[in-house]
């Protein structure tokens, strides 16, 4: 029987034929695709023709399309709709893929050809994008260890293979802990909870096969429970379970994995001649050095901590007024912050939430993209990997631009968090291909589906990433879309969040789920007025995580990462009632793979730019200024990684930004 993963797809716009693919197809398809890719690599490396940009660098760009198809489908379903078979496959695939790409980067004949093209670059007639691709290709080989010899080369391959296994294990352990724990609620435990939390708890109970409502460790359920439950004992129980993910002992404990990962990363960096893993990792980013990252984080940490301490004193007084004469605890903060928000801003989350319908917020994100960039979105009826998914054909001036897929609801088979990925990236070489882009979120499922304001921001954030993919207009896939420096990749996503706060957008799309009426102006003003509420807490929990991540990699790898975490938090004076946003055993950004290792700071680095970039719109004709929108697409969204990130930002804004706009936007300016 033919394997659908290895066929040409005749589906609309070449979308993966999810309805034809079974889990049994993945392993044989991967084996065949790996072999085909190695054959393509051998043909490039072993050709007797003298190395040229076309027969070496462009040939590498063209190789591996079959492998990309298989992996695009597999990693989509493994992350968003996993099952035991897919988890087994992921564990088996990780070392195979690591070994495969190590074999390519370690191919001496291939590297010799790439190096020859690099050495002759001044004599070549290359476009700016081609010169950039050549530089990135050569640098990628060197950083992967292509120049290593003998024992060092062998050891590098071993390290990469082991890190792939550890990253997969970390992710699966975290998912297992999140899936396994839930707290059953009696009917009187629901007292004080808004209807939307009760509905989400009942839906979660049905999914878990419980006799009644439950609280799970899904952020979309546990956070509102911590916000609204008057039962301090239940809040503490739920929070402690949330905090313990990945650190419960037994087979799913991630602490030893974190320690081994850090040690291997340090060894890897030193094999390549770097003092620390942070030096290695940051070399390719806008920040360049650990010191630059630390300066940014500490510039933000000081005012954020000061604000958080002022807020903690207010919340403690509120708790004491309730007759609880104890220190403010982490399971108290969200509850009393919500009460304070309701009192000071007269904002009731339960009254607010019906105005943030999922479908209306999707419409809002599309409408902003239409006004800014002329994009149109038409529903697309195609088989997808889960019934909750939906797809749209994205066009401009009647021409197809991309396929956009949205997968919005939390479920036990989906890893936590929210993300954007391209199943197929935009490119013009070796043939023109339009992108297929997916946003995956974890919103509570209800009818109608209602979002918190933070959920709505998440939706806009991930759609900003999607626009970066969909509006990409480059020749080579290796520099397409979000293939940019890690501390630049969050700029489009965080910038797009600002359009949710534009009053006219909320006035049009924040309509009540039952009455259909627009949000009253008084409520709208309160929403916008409360935009920086509790920002001390939010900034402290984030920056603490970023500083711990940096400390793990900027120096000798700690034998006990948990002890090092405690040490860093003590050094910076972490407030007692606030925890890191991601404690080490659940810090998937850093330990599920190398993506954000030494790079969790990048959200803040990007926020410095996004605050400054939105000011550019406000200084011009407003949020939908057409000239600024054209400049944003021309210099940032369409260019991918085809130019240096700092140069792209300067082309858009005329200068690099300072931290002032960020502090102002977060309400932390002095």
Spatial distance between the Cα atoms of 113 and 421, rounded to a whole number of angstroms: 32
Spatial distance between the Cα atoms of 335 and 186, rounded to a whole number of angstroms: 20
Residue 240 CB neighbour total at 10 angstroms: 11
Contact 228, 195 (CB under 8 A): no
3-state secondary structure of 97: helix
Contact 610, 562 (CB under 8 A): no
- Count of helix runs (H) and strand runs (E) in the chain: 27, 7
What's the burial of 420, exposed, middle or buried (CB within 10 Å: 0-12/13-18/19+)?
A: buried
- Per the omega criterion (within 30 degrees of 0), is the bond before 430 cis? yes
Residue 19 tokens, joined = 């309805």
390, β-bridge pairs: 406
Contact 246, 586 (CB under 8 A): yes
Q: Establish whether 462 is a catalytic residue.
A: yes
3-state secondary structure of 422: strand
Contact 280, 553 (CB under 8 A): no
Residue 98 φ then ψ, to 5°: -60, -45
Residue 42 CB neighbour total at 10 angstroms: 13
Q: Among all chains, which residue has been given the structure tokens 């999914």?
A: 207
Catalytic option among 40, 266, 462, 477: 462
Residue 91 tokens, joined = 């564990």
Residue 74 tokens, joined = 């597999």
Contact 513, 357 (CB under 8 A): yes
Q: Among all chains, which residue has been given the structure tokens 């975290």?
A: 174
Spatial distance between the Cα atoms of 506 and 514, rounded to a whole number of angstroms: 17
Residue 443 φ then ψ, to 5°: -85, 150
Cα 131 from chain centroid (whole Å) = 29
Angle at 43 between CA 39 and CA 49, to 5 degrees: 175
Residue 612 tokens, joined = 């400054």
Residue 65 tokens, joined = 């399309």
Q: Among all chains, which residue has been given the structure tokens 């603490």?
A: 544
What ranges in 106-149 are assigned the alpha helix state H?
108-119, 128-144
Rg for the chain, CA atoms, rounded: 25
Which residues participate in catalysis according to the annotation? Answer: 462
């Amino acid at each position: 029987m033919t394997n659908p993963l290895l066929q040409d797809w005749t589906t609309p716009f070449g979308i993966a034929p999810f309805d034809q693919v079974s889990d049994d197809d993945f392993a044989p398809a991967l084996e065949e695709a790996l072999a085909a890719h190695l054959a393509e690599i051998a043909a490039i490396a072993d050709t007797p023709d003298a190395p040229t940009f076309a027969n070496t660098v462009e040939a590498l760009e063209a190789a591996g399309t079959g492998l990309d198809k298989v992996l695009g489908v597999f990693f989509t379903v493994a992350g968003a709709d996993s099952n035991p078979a897919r988890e087994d496959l992921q564990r088996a695939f990780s070392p195979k893929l690591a070994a495969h790409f190590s074999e390519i980067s370690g191919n001496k004949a291939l590297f010799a050809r790439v190096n020859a093209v690099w050495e002759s670059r001044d004599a070549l007639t290359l476009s700016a994008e081609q010169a950039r691709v050549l530089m990135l290709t050569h640098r990628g080989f060197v950083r992967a260890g292509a120049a290593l010899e003998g024992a060092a080369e062998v050891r590098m391959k071993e390290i990469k293979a082991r890190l792939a296994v550890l990253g997969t294990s970390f992710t699966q352990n975290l998912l297992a802990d999140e899936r396994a724990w839930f707290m059953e609620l009696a009917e009187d435990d629901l007292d004080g909870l808004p209807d939307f939390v009760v509905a989400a708890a009942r839906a979660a109970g049905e999914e878990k096969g419980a006799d009644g409502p439950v609280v799970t460790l899904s952020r979309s359920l546990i956070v509102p429970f911590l916000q609204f439950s008057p039962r301090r004992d239940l809040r503490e129980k739920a929070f402690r379970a949330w905090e313990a993910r990945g650190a419960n002992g037994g087979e799913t404990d991630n602490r030893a994995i974190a320690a081994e990962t850090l040690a291997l990363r340090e060894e890897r960096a030193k094999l390549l001649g770097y003092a620390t893993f942070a030096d290695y990792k940051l070399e390719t980013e806008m920040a360049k050095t650990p010191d630059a990252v630390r300066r940014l984080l500490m510039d933000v940490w000081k005012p954020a901590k000061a604000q958080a301490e002022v807020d903690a004193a207010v919340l403690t007084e509120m708790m004491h007024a309730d007759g609880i004469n104890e220190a403010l605890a982490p399971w108290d903060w969200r509850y009393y912050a919500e009460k304070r928000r309701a009192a000071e801003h007269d904002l009731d989350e339960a009254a607010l939430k019906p105005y943030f319908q999922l479908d209306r917020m999707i419409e809002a994100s599309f409408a902003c993209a239409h006004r800014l960039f002329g994009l149109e979105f038409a529903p697309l009826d195609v088989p997808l990997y889960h019934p909750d998914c939906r797809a749209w054909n994205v066009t401009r001036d009647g021409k197809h631009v991309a396929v956009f897929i949205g997968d919005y609801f939390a479920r036990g088979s989906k890893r936590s968090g929210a993300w954007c990925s391209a199943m197929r990236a935009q490119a013009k070489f070796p043939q023109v291909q339009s992108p297929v882009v997916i946003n995956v979120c974890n919103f509570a499922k209800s009818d109608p589906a209602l979002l918190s304001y933070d959920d709505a921001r998440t939706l806009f954030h991930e759609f900003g990433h999607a626009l970066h993919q969909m509006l990409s207009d480059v020749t080579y896939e290796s520099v397409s879309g979000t293939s940019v420096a890690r501390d630049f990749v969050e700029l489009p996503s965080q910038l797009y969040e600002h359009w949710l706060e534009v009053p006219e957008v909320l006035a049009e799309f924040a309509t009540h789920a039952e009455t259909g009426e627009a949000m009253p102006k008084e409520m709208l003003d309160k929403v916008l007025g409360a935009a920086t509420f509790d920002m001390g807490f939010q900034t402290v929990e984030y920056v603490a995580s970023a500083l711990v991540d940096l400390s793990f990699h900027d120096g000798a790898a700690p034998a006990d990462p948990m002890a090092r975490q405690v040490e860093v938090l003590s050094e910076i004076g972490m407030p007692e009632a606030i925890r890191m946003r991601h404690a080490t055993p659940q810090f998937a950004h850093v330990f599920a793979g190398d993506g954000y290792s030494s790079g969790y700071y990048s959200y803040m680095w990007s926020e410095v730019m996004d605050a400054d970039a939105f000011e550019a719109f406000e200084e011009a004709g407003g949020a939908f200024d057409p000239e600024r929108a054209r400049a944003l697409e021309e210099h940032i969204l369409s260019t991918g990684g085809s130019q240096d990130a700092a140069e792209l930002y300067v082309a858009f804004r005329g200068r690099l930004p300072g931290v002032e706009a960020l502090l102002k936007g977060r309400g932390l300016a002095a």
